[in-house]
Amino acid sequence: MTHVGFISLASCCLPRLSFTKRRPFAMAALGDDPIRDWILSEGKATQITRISPVGGGCINHASRYDTDAGPFFVKTNRSIGPSMFEGEALGLGAMYETKAIRVPRPFKVGTLPTGGSYIIMEYIEFGASRGNQSVLGKKLAEMHKAGKSERGFGFDVDNTIGSTPQINTWTSGWIEFFAEHRLGYQLKLALDQYGDSTIYQKGERLIRNIAPLFENIVIEPCLLHGDLWSGNIASDKNGEPVILDPACYYGHNEAEFGLSWCAGFGGSFYSAYFEVMSKQPGFEKRRDLYKLYHYLNHYNLFGSGYRSSALSIIDDYLGMLRV
């Protein structure tokens, strides 16, 4: 069985003790082995019986620690500081607190004495399948409904989408947030990385003119997983859905479906979802806008194979909006 906590950067179309909301994770003190120290103290174990590698990630090293207090899941990165894992832990903790859908419970983020960082979290055994899509749709909608923010759109920390920085500066308006911190950031990255002035200029023209797509709807900041594709969806041994490796922020609930092109959501998923969260006017017209963010990110992460999909969406919207 594979644990649910590894980060996967493979293209999705190629291949606790306590958590206090909105409070930074306490850093573990440096020691010879802070992971072992935590497990044998705050983790309530008296012995570690086995440490075994868990495959699947290509940024971090993942391991299962078997102990007499049960198993723990540990990810380490020898070259990156704790900010990436802190963002993951805060996202997992926020989703966990909604009590709507199962996620690995985060326990500790810390620095390694030899450099790098680690995260310790709950170990969840995968079941034999990804679970029932209707149940997934219902529970995801319940998470969106329960997870609200009074601060607007954003998150307490910046995090990553794959290995791309994701800026989560609190913003009062959704259109402004999505235009600047999602599409705008990715367009600038494409310009800097590839010198792609065509996609940058057309994309900038689009984001200056997206307001009509949001007419006659009310957008509340909902807690989003943020990176919901098939590799981040599983089920536990009881068949209950589990979601993992988040890139959380508070945003328009429809943005959660931006990776639907590699998440495998079917009709039963959407039917169950919209029984809990009402479908708003213009949903179909906005779907590709949210896909665009992830196509641009795939372009920036994996190269030109995703450029045509991103550019096609931009051109279609420019035609639809007549700008």
- Residues involved in catalysis: 227
Q: For residues 187 and 193, give the distance between their C-alpha atoms in angstroms, rounded to a whole number.
A: 10
CB atoms within 10 A of CB 169: 12
**Nearest of 84, 90, 245, 228 to residue 165 by alpha carbon:** 84
Its sign, for the CA torsion 314, 228, 162, 147, is positive
Q: What's the distance, Cα to Cα, between the start and end of the chain in Å?
A: 51
For the chain, the residue count is 323
Long-range contacts of 301-307 (CB under 8 A, 24+ apart): 301/9, 301/11, 301/162, 301/163, 301/164, 302/11, 302/14, 304/194, 307/196, 307/199
- Pairing mode, if any, of strands 27-28 and 106-111? parallel
With H, G, I as helix, E, B as strand and everything else as coil, classify residue 148.
strand
The two tokens of residue 164 are 């791309």
Q: For residues 101 and 289, give the distance between their C-alpha atoms in angstroms, rounded to a whole number.
A: 26
The two tokens of residue 267 are 């009709």
For residues 257, 258, 263, 265, the Cα torsion angle rounded to the nearest 10 degrees is 30
